[in-house]
């Protein structure tokens, strides 16, 4: 009896537990994908595709079986299968906009982000849609380790900090070319429409070997869109509760043959003076700006782009108008900016190319009674030759940069002739790098650059990078060591030098700053059987500066004293990023950066102004495909910043409070053509102290008494010995506000 029962049980199991063999193939862009993970949801059963993208998977019948397909650099998909369908056919994967992009910033040639020996962070334009802004300057606030820093309470100009380093150490490129520098470091960033950007690539750490001066702290490369990747016609416009209006218009047109072009127009206007903190000054600078961008591509060899920007901005006392420009009746800071750019690239063949750019920047401004007029022209040309020889990938380049600069300050004043003397700086350079493929898992990159500055002479910048990875590239370790340099231009980089509130003093001719940096980066990707992908990376950075130029606000509260540092300056820390992509339409991005930055001079350590100890960013995205709805919540937290106070009697806090900015947006898509979005910015309604501007009621210091050396005296009407000072700033005065916008495109 037991034997008979066992036989019957065994026969029942054979007939009831059917085994199925499912086959199929996985493709992307008409190409088979090798190494794609194929996992039976809710089990440990799975396989991977072969070199032809094919797979075969065996399993017994299950209720409602589902297969999850995932691969590095692609969005995972879930497929429901039926027992009577043994051939699943072709499965198409979509490229993910965050995992395996093609980047150019690290090595000046296209390469997969995972294959790059240089750690490059990439942010597609979809990333910035989560928090709509009027310019790329504001949009960067949601990137870990990057902080847009306002430098003036009145005119709201600013720069971009990377890992706590001042904006003058950040090189901003457009299509890999040094378009934004000098005067436009302070003012030009606001004129770059976000709608023209295809993606943003970020390198943290010196990149002077490839890009020369100003790339001492990092590079932000804005890659503009190509005509073939844009819609025929598009409009993106939004309105905020403060009265800000921003409109982007794009139009693609065809020329003869394979030639085409894209025209982009951005218009931004804010003309609604608001004084919520009741200090008598505008909380937000009024602006009227137009930017016109045109890009032409002639086949695959030549692309030429041009941009014109005109901006009229002013901030000041609430009843100020242009008739008070430069007079002492009412205080205002008025800036007229006119800028033209042209840049492009010609590829002789797949190995040899020439890039060029030219920009002309005219700046006409008044800071109260202080005029500042400046003209700057920069011409740039660069030949690049790339050759692969067995295990060596060699890149050789020759570059030349010419800068003309003229203003009405001491920067171009010749004391010997007592005449204005514009500067003409020539900067020829040559660089070479060799990326050596040691084996299938290890790469070594060696680079060296030589520049000759017509003012400062010979400058050498080497670098070395090492990368190792596992077989499927799910774990990557990169180690970088490099040198950087920067030739300082105080009046074009430091807004505090222009406000007129303090006198500028140079104790010596400023030598170029130098730095040495070491950076270790580890990237790990994890696949969860339910179909989620976790993208985790951590970086440890250390930078030591020599000849660092430090603005001294403390020795004399009425002066900014510039000199090279006779000591050392250290910037070090750790940065962590975590990205989670789930099958249910949820994406989470988390980032945190700890920064330890200090100046060591005469055995005294001091923290630099406006440098945070901690910065964090986060982004939560949820999509409902059935209703074409998406929810985006973005946030940033900034630790306390050391602020420039006016001497020991100044009652304003020496440090800013830690503050958190949260934004929320709901987007509805209609037939993939029309899109509406609305939301709230600065949900927690954080604003700086109402007393940020010292003596805002007396902007011309009419009620201030000074001693014979020009120092403010403590009097009955001025007990804290203050003077008018708008440089005490760390965040926008804009509180909570609503916004509404729409997007429309015609393909």
Q: Is the pLDDT of residue 505 over 70?
A: no
Over residues 212-232, mean pLDDT: 81
Question: Averaged over 632-639, what is the pLDDT?
Answer: 96
- What dihedral angle (degrees, nearest 10) is formed by the CA atoms of 605, 611, 615, 621? -170
Task: Compute how many other C-beta atoms are within 10 angstroms of the C-beta atom of residue 447.
Answer: 23
pTM, rounded to two decimals? 0.82
Comparing 406-410, 494-498, 571-575, the range with the smallest average pLDDT is: 494-498
Q: Are 157 and 495 in contact (CB under 8 A)?
A: yes
Mean pLDDT of 611-637: 93
> 211 and 232 share a domain?
no
Whether residue 284 sits in one domain with residue 204: no
Distance CA 604, CA 611 (A): 18
- Which CATH number covers residue 117? 2.170.130.10
Q: Report pLDDT digits (tens) over 265-309.
A: 999 999 999 999 999 999 999 999 999 999 999 988 899 999 999
Give the pLDDT confidence score for residue 258 in this predicted structure. Answer: 80
Tokens linked to 647: 């001497």
Decide: 198 and 295 in contact? Cβ < 8 Å.
no
Nearest to 549 by CA among 567, 535, 537: 567
* Same domain? 7 vs 43: yes
pLDDT at 352: 95
Provide mean pLDDT across the span 246-259: 88
Q: Is the pLDDT of residue 738 over 90?
A: yes
Please write the tens of the pLDDT for every residue from 296-355: 999 888 999 999 999 999 999 999 999 999 999 999 999 999 999 999 999 999 899 999
Considering only residues 207 and 693, tell me which one the structure prediction assigns the higher pLDDT.
Answer: 693
What pLDDT score was predicted for residue 503?
Answer: 65
What band does 9 get if pLDDT is binned at 50, 70 and 90? Answer: very low
Task: Please check the confidence at residue 441 and state whether its pLDDT lies above 60.
Answer: yes
Same domain, 432 and 397: yes
Average pLDDT over the chain, rounded to whole?
A: 84
- pLDDT for residue 44: 66
According to the per-residue pLDDT averaged within each range, which of 73-82, 99-108, 217-226, 720-729 is highest? 720-729
Range of the domain at 677: 223-746
Percent of the chain past pLDDT 90, that is, above it, reads 43
pLDDT at residue 214, rounded to an integer: 72
727: number of Cβ within 10 Å: 25
Give pLDDT, residue 99: 46
| CB-based contact 215:208 (threshold 8 Å) | yes
Report the relative pairing of strands 559-564 and 423-437 from DSSP bridges. Answer: unpaired
Instruction: Give the bridge partners for 453, in sequence order.
Output: 457
Identify the pLDDT of residue 311. Answer: 93
Is the domain of 110 the same as that of 86?
no
Please state the domain count of the chain: 3
Q: Which two tokens stand for residue 445?
A: 């990159």
Last residue of a domain, one of 204, 222, 240: 222
Do 333 and 304 lie in a common domain?
A: yes
Contact partners, residue 219, CB within 8 Å, separation at least 6: 105, 170, 171, 172, 173, 201, 202, 203, 207, 211
CATH number for position 70: 2.60.40.10
Q: Which of 171, 203, 222 marks a domain boundary?
A: 222
- What pLDDT is attached to residue 698? 94
Tokens standing for 552?
């001294």
Query: Highest mean pLDDT range out of 28-32, 57-61, 628-632?
Result: 628-632
pLDDT surpasses 50 at 459:
yes
Higher pLDDT among residues 320 and 205, named by residue: 320
Q: Which residue has the higher pLDDT, 483 or 104?
A: 483
Q: What is the pLDDT of residue 193?
A: 65
- CATH number of the domain within which 435 lies: 2.40.170.20
Strands 559-564 and 503-506: parallel
By CB atoms closer than 10 A (0-12, 13-18, 19+), residue 616 is: middle
pLDDT category at 73 given cuts 50, 70, 90 is low
Which range is least confidently modeled, 78-87, 277-286, 564-573, 737-746? 78-87
pLDDT score at 14: 43
What does the pLDDT average to over 43-66? Answer: 76
Looking at the structure, tell me whether residues 472 and 344 fall in a common domain: yes
Tell me what pLDDT residue 741 has.
97
Is 373 a residue whose pLDDT tops 90? no
Give the Cα separation of 704 and 707 in Å (integer): 10
More confident: 158 or 43: 158
Please determine, for residue 533, whether its predicted confidence score (pLDDT) is greater than 70. Answer: yes
Could you tell me if 675 and 743 are in contact, meaning their C-beta atoms sit under 8 angstroms apart? yes
Among 128-142, 163-177, 290-304, which is the least confidently predicted range? 163-177
Higher pLDDT, residue 415 or 593 = 593
Which whole number is the average pLDDT over 366-378? 88
Backbone angles phi and psi of 208, in degrees to 5:
-65, -25
Query: According to the 3-state scheme, what is the secondary structure of 97-126?
Result: CCCCCEECCCCCCCEECCCCCCCCEEEEHH
Mean pLDDT confidence for 648-655: 93
134 and 231 share a domain? Answer: no
- Residue 11 φ/ψ, nearest 5 degrees: -65, -35
pLDDT band at 8 (very low <50, low <70, confident <90, very high): very low
Structure tokens at 685: 């309604």
Buried b / exposed e along 556-572 (16+ C-beta atoms within 10 A): bbbbbbbebbebebebb
User: Is the per-residue pLDDT at 492 higher than 70?
Assistant: no
Query: Can you give the pLDDT at residue 12?
Result: 41
CB contact set of 609 (below 8 Å; sequence gap of 6+): 551, 553, 641, 642, 643, 644
Same domain, 247 and 295: yes
Same domain as 228, residue 214: no
Task: Give yes or no: residues 677 and 658 share one domain.
Answer: yes
Domain final residue, candidates 222, 249, 281: 222
Are 153 and 216 in the same domain? yes
Looking at residue 322, its pLDDT comes to: 92
């Amino acid at each position: 009896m037991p034997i008979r029962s066992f036989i019957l049980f065994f026969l029942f199991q054979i007939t009831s537990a059917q085994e199925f063999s499912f086959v199929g193939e996985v493709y992307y862009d008409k190409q088979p994908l090798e190494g794609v993970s194929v996992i039976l949801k809710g089990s440990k059963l799975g396989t991977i595709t072969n070199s032809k993208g094919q797979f075969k998977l065996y399993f017994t019948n299950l209720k409602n079986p589902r297969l999850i397909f995932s691969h590095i650099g692609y969005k995972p998909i879930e497929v429901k299968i039926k027992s009577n369908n043994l051939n699943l056919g072709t499965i198409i994967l979509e490229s993910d906009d965050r995992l395996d992009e093609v980047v150019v910033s690290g090595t000046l040639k296209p390469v997969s982000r995972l294959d790059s020996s240089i750690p490059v962070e990439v942010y597609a334009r979809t990333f910035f849609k989560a928090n709509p802004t009027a310019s790329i300057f504001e949009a960067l606030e949601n990137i870990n380790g990057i902080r847009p820093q306002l430098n003036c309470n009145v005119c709201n100009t600013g720069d971009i900090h990377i890992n706590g380093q001042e904006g003058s150490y950040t090189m901003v490129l457009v299509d890999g070319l040094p378009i934004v520098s000098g005067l436009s470091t302070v003012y030009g960033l606001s004129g770059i429409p976000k709608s023209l950007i295809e993606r943003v690539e970020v390198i943290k750490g010196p990149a002077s070997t490839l890009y020369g001066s100003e790339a001492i702290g990092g590079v932000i490369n804005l890659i503009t869109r190509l005509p073939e990747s844009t819609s025929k016609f598009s409009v993106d416009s939004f309105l905020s509760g403060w009265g800000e209006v921003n409109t982007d218009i794009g139009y693609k047109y065809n020329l003869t043959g394979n030639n085409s072009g894209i025209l982009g127009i951005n218009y931004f206007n804010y003309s609604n003076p608001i004084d919520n903190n009741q200090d008598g000054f505008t909380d937000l600078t009024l602006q009227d700006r137009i930017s016109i961008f045109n890009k032409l591509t002639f086949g695959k060899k030549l692309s030429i782009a041009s941009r014109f920007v005109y901006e009229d901005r002013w901030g000041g006392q609430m009843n100020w108008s242009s008739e008070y420009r430069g007079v002492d009746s009412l205080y205002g800071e008025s800036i007229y900016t006119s800028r033209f750019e042209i840049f492009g690239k010609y590829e002789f063949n797949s190995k040899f190319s020439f890039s060029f750019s030219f920009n002309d920047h005219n700046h006409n401004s008044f800071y109260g009674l202080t005029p500042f007029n400046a003209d700057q022209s920069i011409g740039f040309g660069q030949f690049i030759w790339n050759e692969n020889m067995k295990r060596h990938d060699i890149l050789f380049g020759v570059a030349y940069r010419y800068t003309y600069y003229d203003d009405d300050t001491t920067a171009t004043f010749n004391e010997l002739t007592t005449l204005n003397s514009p500067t003409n700086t020539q900067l020829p350079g040559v660089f070479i790098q060799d990326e050596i493929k040691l084996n299938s898992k290890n790469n070594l990159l060696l680079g060296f650059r030589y520049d000759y500055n017509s003012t400062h002479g010979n400058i050498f910048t080497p670098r070395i990078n090492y990368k190792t990875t596992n077989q499927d590239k799910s774990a990557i370790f990169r180690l970088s060591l490099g040198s950087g340099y920067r030739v300082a231009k105080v009046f074009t980089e430091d807004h505090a030098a222009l406000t007129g509130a303090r006198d500028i003093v140079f104790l010596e001719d400023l030598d170029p700053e130098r730095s040495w940096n070491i950076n270790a980066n580890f990237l790990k990707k994890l696949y969860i059987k339910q179909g989620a992908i976790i993208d985790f990376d951590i970086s440890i950075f250390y930078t030591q500066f020599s000849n660092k130029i430090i603005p001294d606000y403390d020795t004399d509260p009425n002066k900014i004293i510039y000199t090279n540092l006779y000591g050392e300056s250290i910037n070090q820390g750790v940065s962590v990023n975590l990205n989670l992509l789930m099958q249910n339409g949820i994406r989470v991005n988390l980032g945190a950066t700890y920064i330890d930055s200090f100046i060591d001079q005469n055995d005294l350590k001091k923290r630099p102004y406006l440098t945070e100890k901690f910065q964090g960013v986060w982004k939560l995205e949820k999509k409902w495909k059935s209703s074409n709805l998406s929810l985006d919540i973005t946030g940033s937290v900034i630790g306390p910043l050391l602020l420039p106070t006016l001497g020991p009697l100044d009652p304003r806090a020496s440090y800013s409070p830690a503050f958190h900015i949260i934004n929320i947006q709901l987007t509805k898509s209609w037939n993939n053509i029309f899109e509406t979005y609305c939301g709230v910015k600065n949900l927690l309604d954080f604003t700086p102290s109402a007393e940020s501007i010292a003596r805002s009621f007396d902007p011309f210091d009419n009620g201030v008494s000074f001693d014979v050396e020009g120092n403010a005296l403590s009097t009955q009407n001025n007990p804290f010995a203050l003077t008018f000072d708008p440089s005490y700033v760390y965040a926008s005065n804009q509180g909570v506000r609503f916004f509404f916008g729409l997007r429309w495109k015609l393909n």
